[in-house]
Amino acid sequence: MALNTTVKVHPVVLFQIVDAYERRNSEAARVIGTLLGTVEKGIVEVTNCFSVPHKEYEDQVDAELSYASNLYALNHRVNPQEVIVGWWATGNEVTSHSSLIHEYYARECKNPIHLTLDTTLQNAKMGIRAYLNVPIGVPGGSVGCMFTPINVEVTCYEPEVVGVQLCQKTVAGGVGGKKIVEPLLDLAQVAEASRRLTGLLDQVLTYVEDVLAGHAQPDNAVGRALLDMVNSVPKMSNEEFENMFNSNVKDLLMVITLAQLVKTQLQLNEKLTLLTTL
């Protein structure tokens, strides 16, 4: 059991866990479910998950395992590459019930990962933690197992980043209400990005001025990064740039006129064919 495995989680999984927690039955304090994904050379990539109904008693756990295998089969039909890689639970600690559940999942796959998402918001943060089960104890004597933490990272496909960024706008909501956001039009998005860039540039400039005036400590790493950034702007002479700029602008304007022309042509065509009487 390699302890240097890292777990890469996709944002979809986190969304699902939070949603399942919000929809739980009133008597359940926490929710559990299965993690699906792929395992590759010590890196476990979790791309999907679903929740499994379960009940916890004093020293017993009832989980609907047939439900879990049914849903896994359904999912497998859509996505044959996803396999069970572990299980998740909400809450901020690993309880004794967890080892029982973990045993079941150890039968479904090798080295199941256990992921916890702290929805009770202890420590004022929603901690995402992952654990592996390792056996401990004295050989020949009492043996047990322990959940050891491993690293968790968040990866996304490129479109997922775009989705997450849009959803993040709902965070900056009003005091009482949940703010809603619309998918932005192209132009508005570019405008907003340029605003963000100017903000970032201002920050960098204030830092540099502070260093020059002696208010802040110069940091070599930051300095080298700044040098990289400044050098990465392509050096073009004025004429080259003018040429490139003008030709691109001409192309785009021509395409815009063509598109408008096509639209008017369509309308004309429609009128002609529909309204001719014979």
Partner 1 sequence: MANNWAGPSRRLPENESSIAYVQMDGLAVMKMIKHSHEEATRNLEIAQGALLGLVVDTRLEITNCFPFPKHNDDTMDEEEYQLTMMRQLRRVNVDHFHVGWYQSADVGNFLNVPLLESQFHYQTSIEESVVVIYDTQKTTRGFLSLKAYRLTPQAIQMYKENEFAPENLRNLKVGYETLFVEVPIVIKNSHLTNIMLLELSEMIPEEEGSKFLDLGTASVLENQLRCLMDRVDELNQEAIKFNRYQQQVLRQQQDKNRFLVKRESENAARKAKNESPLPDDDINKLFRPIPAPQRLNPMIVSGQIQTYSQHISQFCSQSLAKLYITQALQNAKEGKSTP
| Sequence letter at residue 54 | H
The residue to which tokens 């056996």 are assigned? 135
From the CB of 88, what's the least distance to partner 1, in Å? Answer: 13
Q: Does 168 bind partner 1 (CB under 8 A)?
A: yes
From the CB of 141, what's the least distance to partner 1, in Å? Answer: 41
Residue 171 gets which letter from DSSP? Answer: T
The residue (of 2 and 274) whose beta carbon lies closer to partner 1 is: 274
Q: Does 148 bind partner 1 (CB under 8 A)?
A: no
Q: Does 175 bind partner 1 (CB under 8 A)?
A: no
Q: Which member of 191, 225, 227, 229 binds partner 1 (CB under 8 A)?
A: 191
Q: Does 222 bind partner 1 (CB under 8 A)?
A: no
Residues with Cβ within 8 Å of 170's Cβ and at least 6 positions away in sequence, in order, are 178, 179, 180, 181
Residues with Cβ within 8 Å of 3's Cβ and at least 6 positions away in sequence, in order, are 132, 134, 148, 150
Both tokens assigned to 106: 């150890």
Within 62-81, the residues that bind partner 1 by CB under 8 A are 64, 67, 70-71, 74, 77-79, 81
Rounded distance, CA 40 to CA 263, Å? 50
Q: Which member of 109, 189, 204, 216 binds partner 1 (CB under 8 A)?
A: 189
Rounded distance, CA 9 to CA 92, Å? 18
Within 5-24, the residues that bind partner 1 by CB under 8 A are 10-12, 14-16, 18-24
How far the first Cα of the chain sits from its last, in Å, is 81
Within 236-255, the residues that bind partner 1 by CB under 8 A are 236, 238, 241, 245, 248-249, 251-253, 255
**Secondary structure class of 146 (helix, strand, coil):** strand
The residue (of 148 and 151) whose beta carbon lies closer to partner 1 is: 151
The residue to which tokens 């890469």 are assigned? 8
Within 78-117, the residues that bind partner 1 by CB under 8 A are 78-79, 81, 117
Both tokens assigned to 153: 């990272």
